Amino acid sequence: MKKTLALFITLFAAVLFLKFYIIKTEGAGTGQVLGWAIGIPLAHAADKEKESVYDRVMRTGTIRCGYGQNPPYTVVDLNTGKVTGIHAEIMDAIGESLSLEIEWTQEVPWDQMPAALQTKKIDMLCSGFWVTGARGRQIAFTRPLYFNAIEAVVRTDDTRFDNNLLALNDPEITIATDDNDVGAKIAATDFPLARKLVSPQLASVDYLLMNVANGKADATIMYTSYVHDFMTHNPGKLRAIKAGKPLRIFGTALGVSLQEQMLRDMIDSALLELQGSGILDKILDRYEKDYPGYFFRTAKPYEVSE
């Protein structure tokens, strides 16, 4: 009996020592091997924490998508939870190209997307983002899916700024903006003298456009498809200023964590295939019937000799 008790105490002490050793070595090398030998999963857990998103995707065969609702790009059915839209179709095509499943894991507020990527709550930002330098400090973007125009928008009967955008740069003019949004930065850069009617960040697009329609502001700066949707429900209220060219052109891309270059390279390879095969154009063509001229295609990186 005494020998059995002594053996038990010795084994128990050995297990405690090994646990301490594994924790100290953070699951590396010998600690990992010994941990598995006695059934302690600490080293395995440590390795999983260190696992890159790319490695996790390849191990599980699934890309976990973070997204924001943004018709017609990303649309969520409230009854079924099914995600549809331009970016859903593009992600399905990417998954088919890479032989990976696409899981629409979590809806994430736009301003929390970088943190969700960094903490690995999601693998990718799959609902598309305009590429800017400021955003590039927090997100590694893929090659552009397409390009979008941003216009200055006014009431339909307001012709003061047609072919004269500089007339917006006047202290008597009020521009409706969303706090810290792309439109706010354009207004500050291009029309610094104009007054700004600033809405809280993430205020709805319709809220900004309605500020112009009801006369609280003279203009706002907006992506043309949003104006199209607003006009569908509010015909004759607003229009883009006739200026000959857009205020800005932005590329729309998918995004991953800044540390996930291998994942981004893999997604880029699939996007290049979708562009070369014409699949990307076919997806955009289906939506361009309702949004004519709103998707500027990426230039093909080759020439076909005659």
- Nearest-angstrom CA–CA distance, 254 and 122: 13
Say how many C-beta atoms besides its own lie within 10 A of residue 36's C-beta.
Answer: 13
Q: Percentage of residues in the chain with pLDDT exceeding 90?
A: 66
What is the pTM assigned to this prediction?
0.79
pLDDT over threshold 50, residue 91: yes
pLDDT of 217 over the 60 cut: yes
Cα 162 to its chain centre, rounded Å, is 33
Same domain flag for 67 and 136: yes
Give the CATH number for residue 227: 3.40.190.10
Both 153 and 245 in a single domain? yes
Supply 175's token pair. 């521009």
69 lies in the same domain as 119: yes
Domain membership of residue 303 (yes or no) is: no
More confident residue, 37 or 95: 95
Distance CA 92, CA 80 (A): 18
Specify if 173 maps to a domain.
Answer: yes
Give the per-residue pLDDT at 288.
92
Distance of CA 229 to the CA centre of its chain: 21
Residue 237 and residue 151 in one domain: yes
What is the number of structural domains in the chain? 3
Tell me how far apart the alpha carbons of residues 306 and 304 are, in angstroms, rounded to a whole number. Answer: 6
Task: Report whether pLDDT(194) > 80.
Answer: yes
Q: Please compute the mean of the pLDDT values over residues 21-29 and round it to a whole number.
A: 41
Share the mean pLDDT of the chain.
86
Instruction: Quickly state the pLDDT bin for 9 (edges 50, 70, 90).
Output: low
Residue 155 belongs to domain spanning: 147-249
In a domain, 177, yes or no: yes
Higher pLDDT, 47 or 137: 137
Residue 17 lies in a domain: yes
**Residue 266, exposed/middle/buried by CB under 10 A (0-12, 13-18, 19+)?**
buried
Q: Are residues 154 and 244 in the same domain?
A: yes
> Which pLDDT tens digit goes with each residue over 229-264?
899 899 999 999 999 889 999 999 999 999 999 999
Residue 300 lies in a domain: no
Has residue 44 got a pLDDT over 70? no
Start-to-end Cα distance in the chain? 93
Residues 125 and 266 in one domain: yes
**Same domain as 153, residue 25:** no
φ/ψ (deg, to 5) at 177: -135, 160
Asked if the structure places residue 180 within a domain, the reply is: yes
